[in-house]
Amino acid sequence: MVTSMSHVLPLTREEALCRLAEFLPFAGSAYTKERNHDLGSFRQNTVSGLSAAIRRRMITEREVVDAVIRHHGPLEVEKFLQEVCWRSYWKGWLEQRPEIWSRYKHALCQHHEELSHSSGLTERVARARSGETGLTCFDAWSKELRDTGTLHNHTRMWTASIWVHTLGLPWELGAECFLYHLLDADPASNTLSWRWVAGLHTRGKSYQARASNIRQCTNGRFSPGPEVEARFPASSFQEPPPLQPFRAPADDRLPATVLVLCPEDWALDLPSGLRDQVEQVYLLTMEEEEAEGLSSSLVRRAEDRCLEDAGKVWAQAGHVRVVTCREFQTLWAEELASVPVRMPWVPVGHWHDRLRLIWKDVEPLWYLREWDKSAWPHAKKGFFGFWKTFRASLHA
């Protein structure tokens, strides 16, 4: 019986800080050398296991980066710093091209319509999701994803490649499966990583799993043959919409007595002076039936743990109230629309879509985290161009 990773991966702030301290000695040369090896669990692998906590900002990127640089110096931990920054790159890239998210959702609707009419495709997708394809490694990873809510980063790449290039299944359905099951699922990182594997993110480039690489990087736990190699060509490139230079939301200094937070960002580091103004904190959750359609029960339980922990921490700053989106929409219409309300910017994804239904014509006073403000505008093309520009800010 596989142990649920929701009981292993750090989710609360205290757990994340303890795990960061535990991981620090391994963030340098050990991580650089072994980061691509999947030995079965994050406790066996040389990885931090912090992604689910960083995803919700129970611990922030800046805290993690500062800690590893203090421990090792910037050069020894460059590979780890890059991994932390990939998420910021993906988010900044999608913020400048929100149409990509709309295309993904539209394609999903089309694929689900196709599934309702094609028994052959329905069966192939079902077998892939349940781990019954006959490809030993892929089937094991599918079950690990469902049972634990996580996969090693390199294993995610292999899994996505086999889904797209070996099994010939639509990448959007694979991305949806990951987004549903992963404890650290992020709309930008997930959607754009799957596009990259499929050959859509970088012109002329796709990622294709190789049997020899799987054998080497799992230390022989899996020894596939040519059956996992690509059988379907990479998808043809589709030109994304023109680049839209990212414009940070106005971070004006008007007083705001109400703070609104959602699972995109529970962090405590508010803009200067804002925390002292806050009298009421609203923590938003989706209705159960809405959440069920977007994430697994494992992910929802993880979200509940983070919500509970955030509530305890924020209770020290003012009166805290947990409300569903539907409840908050009523509050917004009847009580809060004329009250100064602040909220950290909610990036492209399901929560952004949901909150747009609430704000309609009158929005809160948005603010953007300094980390995002520094990172996102540089996500114009490829990651390494982004990294060349952004890396200097990590040592400031």
Token pair belonging to 194: 């799957």
The pLDDT of residue 325 is 95
Domain range 5-95+376-394, CATH class: mainly alpha
Give the distance, in angstroms, between the CA of residue 242 and the centroid of all CA atoms in the same chain: 24
C-alpha distances in angstroms, 108 versus 59, 149, 333, 364?
32, 22, 32, 31
Nearest of 141, 184, 179, 164 to residue 11 by alpha carbon: 184
The pLDDT of residue 314 is 87
C-alpha distances in angstroms, 13 versus 125, 201, 247, 313?
37, 34, 30, 9
Q: For residues 263 and 251, what is the distance between their CA atoms, to the nearest angstrom? A: 21
Nearest of 172, 140, 176, 182 to residue 159 by alpha carbon: 140
Tally DSSP H helices, then E strands, for the chain. Answer: 19, 5
Beta carbons of 169 and 125 less than 8 angstroms apart: yes
Contacts of 343 (CB under 8 A, 6+ apart): 259, 260, 261, 262, 364, 365, 366, 367
C-alpha distances in angstroms, 17 versus 8, 60, 78, 269?
14, 10, 21, 15
The pLDDT of residue 128 is 98
Burial class (CB in 10 A: 0-12, 13-18, 19+), 225: exposed
Indicate the Cα dihedral angle 386, 369, 85, 159, nearest 10°.
-110
The pLDDT of residue 138 is 98
Count CA atoms closer than 13 A to 91's CA, side-chain side.
Answer: 22
Residue 198 CB neighbour total at 10 angstroms: 24
Q: Phi, psi (5° rounding) for residue 366?
A: -75, 150
Residue 294 CB neighbour total at 10 angstroms: 16
Indicate the Cα dihedral angle 275, 278, 280, 286, nearest 10°.
-50
Below-70 pLDDT ranges, the chain: 1-7, 234-242, 251-254, 272-273, 396
Beta carbons of 378 and 386 less than 8 angstroms apart: yes
The pLDDT of residue 42 is 73
Task: Give helix 78-95 / helix 61-72 axis angle, nearest 10°.
Answer: 160
Nearest of 137, 289, 139 to residue 216 by alpha carbon: 137
Q: For residues 190 and 178, what is the distance between their CA atoms, to the nearest angstrom? A: 7
Domain range 103-228, CATH class: mainly alpha
Q: Report DSSP state, residue 259.
A: E
Contacts of 16 (CB under 8 A, 6+ apart): 10, 50, 53, 54, 58, 59
Q: For residues 79 and 153, what is the distance between their CA atoms, to the nearest angstrom? A: 14
Per the prediction, the chain carries an average pLDDT of 90
β-strands 258-261, 280-285: how paired? parallel
Ranges of each domain in the chain: 5-95+376-394, 103-228, 258-367
Nearest of 364, 363, 372 to residue 393 by alpha carbon: 372
Q: Report DSSP state, residue 146.
A: H
Stretch (H or E) spanning 388: helix 383-394
Stretch (H or E) spanning 309: helix 297-314
SS3 208: coil
* Domain 258-367 falls under CATH 3.40.50.720: no
pTM: 0.94
